[in-house]
Amino acid sequence: MYRLLHDRYPYAHCELDFETPLQLLVATILSAQTTDTGVNKVTPVLFARYPTAADYASADRAEMETIIKPTGFFRAKTESLIKLGAALVERFDGEVPGRLKDLVTLPGVGRKTANVVLGNAFGVPGITVDTHFARLVQRFGWTDETDPVAIEHAVGALFPRRDWTMLSHVLIFHGRRTCHARRPACGACPVARLCPAYGTGETDPAKAERLLKYELAPVVEVSRG
Q: Of 55, 101, 102, 130, which residue is the catalytic one?
A: 130
- 4: exposed, middle or buried (Cβ count in 10 Å: 0-12, 13-18, 19+): middle
Q: Please, are residues 190 and 5 in contact by the beta-carbon 8 Å criterion? A: yes
Dist CA 177 CA 62 (whole Å): 36
Alpha helices in 122-204, H assignment, sequence order: 131-139, 148-156, 164-177
Quick check: is 112 catalytic? yes
- Cβ neighbours around 111 below 10 Å, total: 18
Radius of gyration for the alpha carbons in the chain, expressed in angstroms and rounded:
19
Dist CA 86 CA 80 (whole Å): 10
End-to-end alpha carbon distance in the chain: 15
- 1: exposed, middle or buried (Cβ count in 10 Å: 0-12, 13-18, 19+): middle
Q: Of 112, 144, 147, 207, which residue is the catalytic one?
A: 112
DSSP code, position 193: G
Q: Please, are residues 68 and 30 in contact by the beta-carbon 8 Å criterion? A: yes
Active site residues: 112, 130
